[in-house]
Amino acid sequence: MLTTVTRAVPAVARALDILELFPGRPALTAAEIAAATALPRSTVHELVATLAERGYVTADTGSPTRFRLGPKVMLLGSHFADRLDLAREAQSVAEAVAAECGETVQVAILDGEFAVCVAKADATHAVRVVAAVGSRLPVRASALGQALIAGLGTDAATSDEVVFEHDEAGNDVRSVAAPVRDHSGRVVAALGVTVPATRQVELWAPQVRKGAAELSQRLGHRRG
């Protein structure tokens, strides 16, 4: 068996040691950091200056040697929490919509020129569209992708309408989708229903609109 050996980079490890001191302690002085990490004060000053320059820590107003976690840490944490919330909540809403319409429901996020499925609920029909988490659909030839792009408009009142796709990719399916927004109003996903081309998809536009609104609400979005 081969074992992969990795070497920690000392400077990175020390910077992380400093950041990991802050949970439970809202602010720390350079002296307190030096004492807690057993690092020379000169090293602490260099590391903290670098972290401050990149936005990971910030100096207290009026106390340049006292530091708090900076906005970059909060931003990274927010992105991580958003991903967890989206996947969990998307699965729950997808299952609820699928229970209403009996068709395949997917929730996708935008990744370049593709809509990537992050949650799905299968149809109950014998003849159905099979979806898989992680599958990638071309943005220009899928309702999910079109909803993601259309929803990027700044006017949410006009950009949250459902989008239809009628076998544009030549895969014998019809789809309807709507954009999903987070607490900031930013489009983070799209929710859609997909059916075989032999069945009508227009029937499920209300359920898609309702499901997208429900998922948006769960992610903190509030209409003005």
Domain coordinates of the chain in residue numbers?
10-69, 79-218
The average confidence (pLDDT) of the chain is: 85
Q: What predicted TM-score, i.e. pTM, was given to this entire model?
A: 0.63
Is the per-residue pLDDT at 145 higher than 50? Answer: yes
- Please write the tens of the pLDDT for every residue from 81-131: 666 678 889 999 999 999 999 999 999 999 888 899 999 999 888 877 887
* CA distances to 13, 52, 132 from 94, in Å: 41, 42, 13
* CA distances to 16, 66, 89, 156, 195 from 12, in Å: 6, 21, 35, 42, 50
Please tell me the predicted confidence (pLDDT) of residue 160: 62
Please tell me the predicted confidence (pLDDT) of residue 42: 92
What is the greatest pairwise CA distance in the chain? Answer: 72
> What percent of the chain is modeled with pLDDT above 70?
88
Please tell me the predicted confidence (pLDDT) of residue 151: 63
Is the per-residue pLDDT at 195 higher than 80? Answer: yes
- Please write the tens of the pLDDT for every residue from 16-46: 999 989 887 888 999 999 999 999 999 999 9
Interaxial angle between packed helices 10-19 and 30-37, expressed in degrees from 0 to 180 and rounded to the nearest 10: 120
- Please write the tens of the pLDDT for every residue from 44-91: 999 999 999 999 999 887 777 889 988 888 777 766 666 667 888 999
Is the per-residue pLDDT at 3 higher than 50? Answer: no
Q: Which is more confidently placed, 217 or 4?
A: 217
> Residue type for 199, please?
R
Please tell me the predicted confidence (pLDDT) of residue 182: 86
Is domain 10-69 classified as CATH 1.10.3090.10?
no
Please tell me the predicted confidence (pLDDT) of residue 73: 84
CATH code for the part of the protein at 79-218: 3.30.450.40
Least confident of 28-42, 139-153, 158-172, 173-187: 158-172
Q: Which is more confidently placed, 132 or 8?
A: 132
Please tell me the predicted confidence (pLDDT) of residue 211: 96
C-alpha–C-alpha distance, residues 141 and 143, integer Å: 7
C-alpha–C-alpha distance, residues 216 and 223, integer Å: 10
Please tell me the predicted confidence (pLDDT) of residue 47: 94
Please tell me the predicted confidence (pLDDT) of residue 4: 47
129 within 8 A of 196, measured Cβ to Cβ: yes
Is the per-residue pLDDT at 157 higher than 50? Answer: no
